[in-house]
Amino acid sequence: MKKNNSSSIADLIDVIKSIDETGVFSLIAVTEKKANKKSRITGQATPTNLETVTKIEYVTVNAGHNYTSLVNLRRKHAEKDQDFKAKKTYATCISENGLLYQHINDPSRLYLRVYRNVNVSFITRVKYFDRGKEIVDWKKVQAEYFKKIYKSKAQELEDQDQIIVNNYKLSSIVRFKRSDFLYERTDIENVIEKLAI
């Protein structure tokens, strides 16, 4: 296995561009989530400690696919017309393998595009932290202080059948792995300890 320990975004870009086929990958990412200014329940201001929380996730994903094709494949299985066309978003593909995306208004903002639920057996482990302390009742906190997540109506599929696409900022990726390569940031041990994997 080719191993790359680095904190360099340039090294991660090289790894992503070198991938020559679609497939299943594992990914660990650390991101910040910003809360709404007020509670959706009480209307009171969001507590200072919850204004920004840290999300650490370990996920198994598919990468290198085409979103439109994946949705139309699901629509075929649901016996619907395969006429779904993805709308343009804030990012456009800049790599031949369909993995690396760039923000349309800011070329310095780069993303790894992945699909979270192409296979049923995918693993997802997510933890949220408030200043280093795990938030154990995240669903309650999320429902009150954070944006609602809406499913796509354009796919015209049941919620459980929808294709979930995520763009991860390259700066948030701590580990990106497949059987033949491993990219890890130098601060990986801290993150693995918090995830307990």
Which pLDDT value is given to residue 107?
Answer: 93
Which pLDDT value is given to residue 6?
Answer: 64
Grade residue 197 by pLDDT with cuts at 50, 70 and 90.
Answer: low
Domain of residue 67, residue span: 2-195
- Single out the residue of 173, 141, 112 nearest to residue 53, CA to CA: 141
> pLDDT higher for 169 or 67?
169
> pLDDT higher for 77 or 3?
77
Which pLDDT value is given to residue 144?
Answer: 94
* Domain tally, the chain: 1
Query: What DSSP letter does each residue of 117-140 carry, written as one string?
Result: -SSTT--EEEEEEETTEE-TTHHH
Angstrom distances, CA of residue 115 to CA of 36, 93, 118, 164, 197: 27, 15, 6, 6, 22
- The model carries a pTM of 0.84
